[in-house]
Amino acid sequence: MWSKKPIGRFFAGGLPDFVKHGVFLISSGNDSFFTTIADRGRLRYDPGCMMPCDARSRRAMQFFQEQYESATEHAWDQSNLLLLIDNRRILHARASAVQEPEREIQRISFHLNNEAS
């Protein structure tokens, strides 16, 4: 799902309170911590590593499942396509690559200055 709007205005009426305040446990290798989906103006949601800890977080999982079902799929209709995603400002997901063993995902991190170019 793509939008240049600030988080919260992307969804009609803004993000519901249960999305903002539901608590999740994130398990990431040796590191585990508690967090919410909305944090400092950014979103974090990965059902693969986020376990809901309360009723609000369970409702948030349902909310994002509904959003996923209405998302637009990117068409990989040419070779050598590159897709850049601001991981904390764009909600995105990827489908299974079992049938595409040549598909490769690489993470690159950028730090951008806010200076005008």
Q: What is the pTM of this model?
A: 0.64
Q: How far apart are CA 41 and CA 39, in angstroms?
A: 6
For 7-27, the pLDDT digits (tens) are: 544 555 677 888 889 999 998
Number of folded domains that form the chain: 1
- Read off the tokens for 73: 């799929």
Q: How far apart are CA 47 and CA 57, in angstroms?
A: 11
For 68-85, the pLDDT digits (tens) are: 777 778 887 888 888 777
**Residue range of the domain that includes 76:** 1-117
Assign 107 a pLDDT band (cuts: 50, 70, 90). confident
For 36-57, the pLDDT digits (tens) are: 988 777 788 888 889 999 999 9
